Amino acid sequence: MRRKLVAGNWKMNGDSTFLAEVEILKAAHASSTVEILLCPPATLLDRLRTIAGASFSIGGQDCHAATSGAHTGDISAPMLNDAGASFVILGHSERRQDHGESSSDVCKKAKTAISTHLCGVICLGESLQERESGETLDVIADQLTSSVPDEVNAENLVIAYEPIWAIGTGKVPTTGQIGEVHNFIRTALTERFGPETGEAVRILYGGSVKNTNAVEIFAIPNVDGALVGGASLSAADFSPIITALENS
Ligand code: PGA
């Protein structure tokens, strides 16, 4: 039985005033039946840890493949761990685009994260052009093979399917399109890692998840929750999405 997971990816948003939003979320979902993960900018991890307590998990948005060294501006997996994180988002399309990260880079980061006892939320997704030219499943298969290391299990891996064209655009794939990709990922994980791990890894959907579409998305088979960007930035927007997952 996979425990449902809803993750908020704040991206490069948030300062200490955002912590008040987390207090509101906590009042509403302190003992939720689903796992709630907050991924703030690294500057807020430590303060968020104090507020989150046992109610929420916290995670970083990226880590370096090395554990320490001369990499100005980067953050290592052990540093995230030290700041209280138990998850790290890896291979988000914004990192792949803005920082030229390849699937092989993502795989190296994932290995380091796993060896540091972090759970990697590895993001996959096709561009609009790839979707329109019928390449979606090929792209997902390739990203899955090359971004996910061999060392994974259900405790240290979460997959997030995030079509690039749906991120921050308000455009969402049909339930059939989401279901097709999630089933495809489930089958690929089962073939590669065996039925026990393949069935237990959680697969999230991400890309313009809102209060208005969450119920429909969470009803799709093999959707175990969501990775939420814009709508995770206020308690008023995020709380109904959490509630939709709790009721799914
Ligand atoms: P969005 O972002 O919910 O704002 O579309 C999702 C993500 O990039 O993780």
> Using one digit for the tens of pLDDT, what is the confidence trace for 65-94?
999 999 999 999 999 999 999 999 999 999
State the average pLDDT for the chain: 97
Contact 190, 152 (CB under 8 A): no
Q: Which residues are catalytic?
A: 92, 162
Strand pairing partners for 121?
89, 158
Substitution site in 165, 209, 213, 242 for ligand 1 pocket (most atoms within 8 Å of beta carbon): 209
In the chain, what percentage of residues exceed pLDDT 70? 100
d(CA 155, ligand 1 centre) in Å = 23
Nearest-atom index, ligand 1, CA of 227: 9
d(CA 199, ligand 1 centre) in Å = 25
What mean pLDDT comes out for the span 190-210? 98
Substitution site in 165, 208, 233, 241 for ligand 1 pocket (most atoms within 8 Å of beta carbon): 208
179 lines ligand 1 (CB under 6 A): no
Residue 184 per-residue DSSP state: H
The residue with tokens 């990192």 is 95
What mean pLDDT comes out for the span 201-213? 98
144 lines ligand 1 (CB under 6 A): no
Statement: residue 101 has pLDDT above 90: yes
Question: How far is the C-alpha of 88 from the C-alpha of 64, rounded, in Å?
Answer: 11
| 139-181: pLDDT as tens digits | 999 999 999 999 999 999 999 999 999 999 999 999 999 999 9
Q: For 88, phi and psi rounded to 5 degrees?
A: -150, 130
- The enclosing H or E element of 110 equals helix 103-115
Contact 122, 157 (CB under 8 A): yes
Substitution site in 88, 228, 233, 237 for ligand 1 pocket (most atoms within 8 Å of beta carbon): 228
Contact 178, 161 (CB under 8 A): yes
d(CA 14, ligand 1 centre) in Å = 15
Q: What is the pTM of this model?
A: 0.97
What is the predicted pLDDT for the residue at 166?
97
pLDDT band of 225, cuts 50, 70, 90: very high
What mean pLDDT comes out for the span 210-233? 98
207 lines ligand 1 (CB under 6 A): yes
Which of 152-170 are b and which e, b meaning 16 or more Cβ less than 10 Å from the residue's Cβ? bebebbbbbbbbbbbbeee
209 lines ligand 1 (CB under 6 A): yes
pLDDT band of 1, cuts 50, 70, 90: confident
Dihedral over Cα of 111, 113, 118, 121: its sign: negative
The residue with tokens 């026990």 is 196
Cα 178 to its chain centre, rounded Å, is 16
d(CA 194, ligand 1 centre) in Å = 30
Strand, helix or coil at 121? strand
